[in-house]
Structure formats: structure tokens, C-alpha cells
Structure 1
Amino acid sequence: MSTRLAPGDTAPDFTLPDADGKPVSLADHRGRKTIVYFYPAALTPGCTKQACDFTDNLDVLAEAGYDVIGVSPDKPEKLAKFREKESLKVTLVSDADRSVLEAYGAYGEKNSYGRTIMGVIRSTVVVDESGKVAHAFYNVRATGHVAKLLRDLEV
């Protein structure tokens, strides 16, 4: 079971391929606040709702100084299909070996329909301008999470 991050921790750095296969690094976002959200699978109902909510609020978040990166174990090709099908504007990156998911505590045991399985734990980590964790939310719901996040961040 991976360790969950807490406010004040240094956010693990990463460089992952985006939907076009181009590298995206957390370090490139230093100086801006970055919302890194982890979701189980592209093109599924809950993950689609969450990604669309982030896309719909991207301008509001950007005005408040936040960048948004969505991380899943999906391959870049699937992320590209997801982006095109849903007209997503949020940056989606592929963590196929789940190393970043594990580093952020977003992969491990979870309950799914009454049984315990290993999988992606829907989570959101807000990283401040200096690379420290400002907020860490685990086991979030796909629906309503972005609205709650906006309230929590006072955006």
C-alpha cells in the first residue's frame, strides 16, 4: 500500500507522456499552483464526468493561478481518443507503469462493488508554486468533486 501525501510534503516529481506522446513534467509548472488528479480509466462514465467538469472550469482555475493535469494508467492513444470524443481541454498524461500513482498514494487497495481489489484510488493533490503539497484529497467522488474543490480552494 502506497503512502498518502499530506500538506507540507514535497510533491514527487514526474515526467509522463501526454495524449500526443509529448513529455509533461511537474517541474515545468513550478511557479504556478497545479492540481494533479488521478482517475482510474478514460472513456468510463465517472472519469468522463470528472474530466468534463475540470474542462468546464479550466478558465476559472487558470485565472486563479492553477494548472490541471489528469493522470491515469491509460496509454497515450486511449487518452487521445478520450480527449477527442469528449472535447477535453485538460492535460491528460499516461502513467502506464503506475509509478506516479503509487508515489502519490493513488494506487492500492480499494473496495469495488463489495470486494477488495487493487486499483487507482480517485484522488486529487494540489501542489503549490514551490512544489509542496497544499491539499491532498483521497477517495473523492467523480461527480461533484470539481465543485467541492473550487469551494475548498476558494476559487
Structure 2
Amino acid sequence: MPNSKATQPSTLVPQVGQPLPDFSLPMAMPNANGDISESTLTTQSARGQSLVLFFYPKDATSGCTIEVCGFRDLYPEFQKENVQVVGVSRDNIRSHIRFIQNQNLPYPLAADLGGELIKSWGLLVNKTMYGKPVTGVLRTTLLIDREGIVRHIFEKVTPLGHAQQVLDAVRAGFE
């Protein structure tokens, strides 16, 4: 978000070295044919492969578009490392489907409708944006290993260049 400043520290429930807390979120899942289906992302379904789980404020906004397109552009590199990428926001599935289509995203977007997961993980914070107080999502990315253990957390990320930072951490052997 341009001209945005978080005014309180994050108190993330997921901790480095700990298992990913249980959750279940609906998601829009693109496939190789260009079709998008609805699926569910759960703690169990996230196991078995390494995962980048990134939280962003809102579909189709400038900073969020930069961030998701960064992951889109580097997605083949994440695939080479056997790492799945999933974005999460409070937008609904219909919004996610449009965002996936408009930005040609090859990875799924999960919908935290009502923001319950985002709130419970301490990612809904008071911010100042354009001089006004707002409540919004703290951009945060988790790297999770094949066993579902959180190995790295990026907090208060800057959208531009973030996907490369995450890929660098993956290549450095975050597990």
C-alpha cells in the first residue's frame, strides 16, 4: 500500500520452528488449461511439499498487484525448487478468480472471508494510510517445509522485489 505505515507490532501465532496452526480456506485454483476451479487449502493439504504462504491486503490494488505478479514471474523458479505458492487475502473467490485471470496467475489464491485466520494470526493491524487511520492486513509471508513446520517468516514486506527475497531464502535452504 502506498504511503502506509503499520502502527502496532505483529504478534503472529505461527512461530518459526513450530507446526503451522490448523486452518481451512476456500481457494481459487488455476490449472494448465486456463480453467479455474474452487478447492480448499487446509493444514493437511499443505503438507507433503514446501509452501510459500503470502498474505496481502486486497486483490487488484497497486501494491498487491506488484506482489502477486512478482510471484507469478518467478513461479517457474519456485516450481524448480518444488515449492508451491499460495496467496491469501480477505477477498472472496469471485474476486480471486478475476484477479487470477487478469494477472495470468499460475498459482492459487485462498479466501479468508471475514478475515478470521488473518485476525487470529495477528495480521490485521491498525495502520495509517494517506494520513488516515485504517485497519488492514500486514503483508506477511511464511515459508513452510514439507512436514508443515514454519521455517521462515517475512513481516511488513515491501511488494516490489519481495518474491525474489523469498526465492533467495528458498534457495539458501530454508528447511
Please, what TM-score do these two structures have when normalized by structure 1?
0.90
Q: Distance in 1 between matches of 2:21 and 2:138?
A: 17
Partner of 1:16: 25
Contact 1:3 1:103 in 2 (8 A): no
1:26 deviation in Å? 3.1
Partner of 2:47: 30
Q: Which amino acid aligns with 1:82?
A: F
1:62 deviation in Å? 1.6
Partner of 1:102: 119
Q: Distance in 2 between matches of 1:104 and 1:125?
A: 12
Gaps of 5+ in 2: 1-7, 29-36
Does the residue aligned with 2:79 lie in a helix, a strand or coil?
helix
Superposed CA offset, 1:121-155 (max 9, x none): 01101111111110011110111101111222226
Does the residue aligned with 1:27 lie in a helix, a strand or coil?
coil
1:116 deviation in Å? 3.8
How much is the aligned-residue C-alpha RMSD, in angstroms? 1.8
Partner of 1:41: 58
Contact 2:81 2:170 in 1 (8 A): no
Q: Distance in 2 between matches of 1:149 and 1:25?
A: 22
Check if 1:112 corresponds to 2:129: yes
Q: Percent identity?
A: 30
Contact 1:7 1:135 in 2 (8 A): yes
Higher Cα radius of gyration: 2
1:84 deviation in Å? 0.8
Contact 1:12 1:103 in 2 (8 A): no
Where in structure 2 are the equivalents of 1:6-155 lying within 5 Å?
Answer: 6-19=15-28, 20-154=37-171
1:115 deviation in Å? 4.1
Does the residue aligned with 2:25 lie in a helix, a strand or coil?
strand
